[in-house]
């Protein structure tokens, strides 16, 4: 089929490229001319493992094209996928101006029946609003479909090609059949439901995953007080097939471009419907507190006096395998340590440039490699779960630091391994050395 994807961010570029990979003829549209030029040259503006090779191979065989003009391609397309950003407004609501702008442009240029697919994460009811906007300028046939994405950064290509499920929210059977055709080349359950249910499935999924993480982070606090080990507790509850082992990793909390935005938007949406989503408010509060607990514990280790202390922070991205620092807990703790007078050095495999922009004006030394980062440090903090940190030569780290103390905000290690190198290893929810000791 001929598919046009509007928006070439994480969702749009991955979706467009993977749709081309499964055989469709795809044109990705973006208003950013420079970005389109770079994409045509095979320059991928985001770090997403495997994406660059897929873009290049599909451009080469002519299944993937790029343009800045939707009107130029709209006549030839069977499906238009809206994959533009829906950032948070200051009041927490999703900002839908970019979605509305695309809908306006579609309405002004549509000539024949087309399925309009909302892949951007949008509040329940947005599908109806998009329909109304298109109807303003176009009286012919079309369908608006909700097809939310469930892509994790760092594994987005795999998540698209091997999803647990494809959710198709459609008002009519014709639209549902079009989308089933689009995803024919993708395995995984295809759930056809209403537009509103599909829109809510997206928010409820992210909110539930965030809830799992905030839940295990609170259990970690209990572990500290009860002398239990959060890794064993998480493993033990995860063996229950009704709970499952994933998204039960205690740490300094969740960040990224989705969880914070989507959880906030769902909380606001509930409020708009007059419902007080008490659980979700607590999930957000627990997450905000988690990174503060962590910083407080490191400060306590220095009796509250951080001035001049050399703190080496390994990791800036909001999670491993990405360059994204949006709502990153790691960036937050860098800022908190620097504001408390510490002499901060930081390292990340991919996210340093993005973090420098986000931390403009904050005194941080950005190291070229992890060993340079920890050299002479009074404490080493692990803030992002980059798998490479596990493979570092920790005996060498032990020789380089001024003070052999590691605070692990992502519980990457077994404590015994670190203690073999003579390192004092403090992590989350384990061995009673982390978490407020207040009873
Ligand atoms: C998330 C959802 O997983 C994905 O389905 C949705 O489409 C977009 O939002 P993403 O934001 O890329 O994906 O990251 P994810 O892997 O979900 O991690 C989110 C945050 O939770 C990260 O900060 C990560 O460090 C943290 N996390 C994740 C934990 O703290 N513990 C865990 O067990 C898992």
Q: What is the DSSP letter of 227?
A: T
Instruction: Confirm whether residue 434 is marked as ligand binding.
Output: no
264-274 pLDDT per residue, tens: 999 999 999 99
Average pLDDT (72-81) is: 96
Instruction: Tell how far the Cα of 397 is from the centroid of ligand 1, in angstroms.
Output: 29
The residue among 89 and 17 whose pLDDT is bigger is: 17
Structure confidence at residue 435 (pLDDT): 39
Give residue 98's pLDDT: 96
- 115 confidence band (pLDDT: 50, 70, 90): very high
**Per-residue pLDDT at 433 exceeds 70:** no
Return the CA Rg of the chain.
24
Q: What is the DSSP letter of 94?
A: B
Range name among 3-17, 52-66, 322-336, 422-436 with the lowest pLDDT average: 422-436
Is the minimum distance from the CB of 315 to ligand 1 under 6 angstroms? no
Nearest Cα residue to atom 20 of ligand 1: 254
Q: Mean of the pLDDT values across residues 287-291? A: 97
Closest ligand 1 atom number to CA of residue 322 = 12
Q: Beta-carbon neighbour count of residue 281 at 10 Å?
A: 14
439 pLDDT higher than 60: no
Interatomic CA distance for residues 406 and 418, integer angstroms = 9
> Each residue of 372-400: pLDDT tens digit?
999 999 999 999 999 999 999 999 999 99
d(CA 327, CA 308): 27
Q: Supply angle C-alpha 50, 54, 55, rounded to 5.
A: 115
Query: For residue 299, what are the contacts with CB-CB under 8 A and spacing of at least 6?
Result: 306, 340
- Residues taking part in catalysis: 258
Name the residue at shortest CA distance from atom 9 of ligand 1. 258
For residue 342, how many other CB atoms are within 10 A of its CB?
Answer: 26
Q: Please tell me the predicted confidence (pLDDT) of residue 207.
A: 98
pLDDT band at 46 (very low <50, low <70, confident <90, very high): confident
Q: What CA–CA distance (Å, rounded) separates 265 from 45? A: 27
- Check if 149 has its Cβ closer than 6 Å to any atom of ligand 1: yes
CB-based burial, 17-26: b 16+ in 10 Å, e otherwise: bbbbbeebbb
* Residue 437 clears pLDDT 60, i.e. is over it: no
Does the CB atom of residue 258 touch ligand 1 within 6 A?
Answer: yes
Q: Residue holding tokens 């403090």?
A: 426
Domains of the chain as residue ranges with CATH? 2-193 (3.40.50.720), 202-284 (1.10.1040.10), 289-438 (3.40.50.720)
* β-bridge partners, 383: none
Phi then psi for residue 425, to 5 deg, are -115, 120
Task: Quick: pLDDT tens for 7-38.
Answer: 999 899 999 999 999 999 999 999 999 999 99
**Of 93, 129, 88, residue with least CA distance to 270:** 93
- Residue 36's pLDDT is what? 93
Containing 81, the helix (H) or strand (E) segment is strand 79-82
Rounded average pLDDT over 159-185: 97
As a whole number, the mean pLDDT across the chain is 94
């Amino acid at each position: 089929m001929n598919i046009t994807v509007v928006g070439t961010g994480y969702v749009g570029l991955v979706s467009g490229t993977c749709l081309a990979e499964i055989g469709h003829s795809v044109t990705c549209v973006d208003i950013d001319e420079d970005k389109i030029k770079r994409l045509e040259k095979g320059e991928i503006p985001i770090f997403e493992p495997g994406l660059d090779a897929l873009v290049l191979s599909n451009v080469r065989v002519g299944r993937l094209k790029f343009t800045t003009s939707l009107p130029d391609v709209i006549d030839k397309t069977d499906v238009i996928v809206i994959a533009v950003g829906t950032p948070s407004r200051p009041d927490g609501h999703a900002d839908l101006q970019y979605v509305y702008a695309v809908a306006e442009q579609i309405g002004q240029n549509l000539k024949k029946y087309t399925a309009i697919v909302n892949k951007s994460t949008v509040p329940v009811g947005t599908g109806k609003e998009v329909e109304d906007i298109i109807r303003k300028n176009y009286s012919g046939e079309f369908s608006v479909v909700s097809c939310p994405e469930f892509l994790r950064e760092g594994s987005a290509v795999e998540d698209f090609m091997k999803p647990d499920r494809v959710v198709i929210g459609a008002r009519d059977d014709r639209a549902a059949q079009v989308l089933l055709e689009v995803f024919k080349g993708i395995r995984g359950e295809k759930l056809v439901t209403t537009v509103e249910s599909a829109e809510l499935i997206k928010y409820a999924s992210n909110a539930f995953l965030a809830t799992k993480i905030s839940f295990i982070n609170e259990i970690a606090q209990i572990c500290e007080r009860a002398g239990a080990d959060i890794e064993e507790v998480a493993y033990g509850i995860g063996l229950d097939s009704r709970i499952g082992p994933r998204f039960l990793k205690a740490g300094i909390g969740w960040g990224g471009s989705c969880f914070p935005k989507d959880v906030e938007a769902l909380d606001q949406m509930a409020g708009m419907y007059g419902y007080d989503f008490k659980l979700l408010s607590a999930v957000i509060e627990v997450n905000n507190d988690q990174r503060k607990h962590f910083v407080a514990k490191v400060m306590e280790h220095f009796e509250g006096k951080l001035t001049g202390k050399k703190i080496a922070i390994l990791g800036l991205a909001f999670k491993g395998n990405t360059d994204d620092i949006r709502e990153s807990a790691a960036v937050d703790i860098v800022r908190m340590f620097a504001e408390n007078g510490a002499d901060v050095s930081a390292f990340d495999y991919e996210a340093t440039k993005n973090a420098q922009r986000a931390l403009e004006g904050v005194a941080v030394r950005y190291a070229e490699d992890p060993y340079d980062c920890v050299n002479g440090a009074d404490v080493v903090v692990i803030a992002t779960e980059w798998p490479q940190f596990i493979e570092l030569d920790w005996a060498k780290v032990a020789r380089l630091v001024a003070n052999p103390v590691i605070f692990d905000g992502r519980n990457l290690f077994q404590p015994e391994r670190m203690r073999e190198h003579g390192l004092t290893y403090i992590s989350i929810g384990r061995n009673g050395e982390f978490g407020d000791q207040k009873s």
